[in-house]
A and B are shown apart, each in its own frame.
Chain A
């Protein structure tokens, strides 16, 4: 009887101490280093979710690389939606602060992105709720940078920053315009 009691208490102590180690470490890791997210919707087709509803892509979000709010043009980032603070949206960065860009369906045809903001767009224009609807997004809303596609296994790849054609900032494309 006494042996069962002490074994039970030892088990409880081991469980409680394990809990207090694993929960903060896991939460800190998910907040500071990396996060896994499922991509839903068609706004980034054909790059993410090319088949549509049947199997959604799962991406690895790198939170350490955005701790100083540094992103490049062409990165795919996860951002807290300005319209709904409980929802996160995954889009591509098209322009950074100070860039002069041409918009697709925004209230102004040309926009100069203010300080501390950036411009995000989904690859599937017309099916995407992005900066063309709500304007430049504050850099403080950035959540993470999608670095790899990790599911389904046949789409395992590293995501490289790439701008869609003709969507770059206007002041650096001197030879084309």
Chain B
């Protein structure tokens, strides 16, 4: 009697460990569901949207300019931020205000990315704290799941901050 209870408990624990490990591998290497909060990515992602972020691009280093990514916050690693990649390493980023007279530029250092929210008035991003290391990126947002009327892939950036071909912009 005692032996049967013992073996059943061990079997149950074994299954729990096995399924827990499979869940860990799925969330770590395939993708995870994220609930976004805050106004910094409006109108692409609004408060309380549920999105799916896939992890394979980050592990294979295939994040491209214009992707929306989830990253660990630079100042608090337990918090995550959701922003769009505006510049990769080596890109030239215009840091002055669009209406300013003198244009200042900065280059994104090696191994870093420049993130900006789609709602530039209401977003703290790389314009405030500089470029962040690539390894802080957790995943690429590929699908919006909730609310159901806006289900589907996410669009391009509504701001004009992403320069697609860097070779064209070197003529000034």
Contacts and interface: CB of A to CB of B under 8 A. Distances in A.
Contact of B133 (A23, A68, A69, A138): A138
A82 to B, nearest CB: 4
A82 B112 contact: yes
Contacts of B134: 85
Given A116-B73, A138-B136, A24 B21 contact: yes
Contacts of B61: 85-86
Which residue, of A25, A68, A69, has the highest number of chain B Cβ atoms within 10 A? Answer: A25
Q: Is the interface of B mostly helix, strand, loop or mixed?
A: mixed
Contacts of A68: 78
Interface stretch (A26-34, A147-155, A165-173): A26-34
A138 B77 contact: yes
A82 B21 contact: no
Nearest to A142: B77
A140 B71 CA distance: 10
A99 to B, nearest CB: 15
Contact of A25 (B21, B78, B132): B21
Contact of A21 (B18, B28, B112): B18
A116 B21 contact: no
Nearest to A81: B111
Chain B: number of interface residues, binned into ranges: 20 to 34
B135 to A, nearest CB: 4
Interface in A60-103: 68-69, 80-86
A32 B72 CA distance: 18
B110 interface: yes
A32 B20 CA distance: 12
Interface string A134-161: 0000111100000000000000000000
Contact of B78 (A20, A69, A80, A82): A69
Interface of A: 20-21, 23-25, 27-28, 31-32, 68-69, 80-86, 114-117, 138-141
Interface of B: 17-18, 20-22, 24-25, 28, 61, 72-78, 109-112, 132-136
Given A116-B75, A138-B77, 13 more contacts: A25-B21, A28-B24, A82-B135, A84-B111, A85-B61, A85-B111, A85-B134, A85-B135, A115-B75, A117-B75, A139-B77, A140-B73, A141-B135
